[in-house]
Structure 1
Amino acid sequence: DTATTDVLKDPVCGMTVTEESKYHEEFKGKTYFFCSDKCQSKFHSSPVQYIAKPATTTADAHTQHHQTTQSVNDASTTGTTIYTCPMHPEIRQDHPGNCPKCGMTLEPLIPELEEDENPELRDFRR
C-alpha cells in the first residue's frame, strides 16, 4: 500500500504536520491540523486570528533570526527597549505584550554587553 500523507502546516506555529495528527479541528467546513494540544487550544480560542495570516516557514524563521541580531544592535543604540516574540522574531514593539501570531509573552531584546571594562567585574577577578 503506497498511500501518501499530505504535509500540512499548523496554522498557529507553522510547524509541519500531517493529516495523521491526533490534534485537528474543523472550522467553517475546513479541517485544520495541529502539532500539539496547545496550538489546537489557541486556534479554538480565536480561529480567525490564525487563518487570516499565512504560517511562517522555516526559511522565513532562519532569515528573521539574522534580522533579530540587527534589531538588538538597534535597541542598544536608541536606548529604547524592544520587545519580541521568541518564536516570531519579526514581531517587534516598544512595549510588553503578547505575540499576535502565537500568543506568547513578548520578551525584551537584550543589548550587547558594553565594551568598556566594568569596575565591579574587575573586583571579582583574582
Structure 2
Amino acid sequence: MVTDPVCGMRLGRSDAAATEEYRGHPYYFCSSVCRERFADDPLRFITVQLD
C-alpha cells in the first residue's frame, strides 16, 4: 500500500491513477488532479512525510 501525498488516500501501487517521480522517489496518486497539485509544488506535500 502507498499513500497519495496530496489527499492522504491509501491505495495499492497497481491502483494508482497517476505517478510522479521527485528526487528519485516515486509518488503515487489517486487521480491526475492530485498528481498535478503535487507537480506544482512537491515540497508542500512531502515535507510533512520527511519530518
TM range (shorter): 0.7 to 0.9
SS at match of 1:48: helix
The structure with the larger Rg is 1
May I ask how many residue pairs the two structures share in their alignment? 48
- What are the within-5 Å matches in structure 2 for residues 1-126 of structure 1? 7-20=1-14, 21-54=16-49
Please state which structure has a larger fraction of its residues in helix.
2
Q: Which residue identity does 1:17 align to in structure 2?
A: L
Deviation at residue 22 of structure 1 after TM alignment = 3.4
Identity %: 35
CA distance in 2, matches of 1:34, 1:22: 6
Bigger relative CO (Cα 8 Å, ≥ 6 apart): 2
Q: Give me the CA root mean square deviation.
A: 0.9
What are the ranges of 5 or more consecutive residues in structure 2 without an aligned counterpart? none
Deviation at residue 53 of structure 1 after TM alignment = 1.2
CA distance in 1, matches of 2:43, 2:17: 21
Please state which structure has a larger fraction of its residues in strand.
2
SS at match of 1:32: strand
What are the ranges of 5 or more consecutive residues in structure 1 without an aligned counterpart? 1-6, 55-126
Deviation at residue 37 of structure 1 after TM alignment = 0.6
Q: Which residue identity does 1:25 align to in structure 2?
A: E
Structure 1 segments of 4 or more deviating over 3 A? Answer: none
Q: TM-score, normalised by structure 1?
A: 0.37
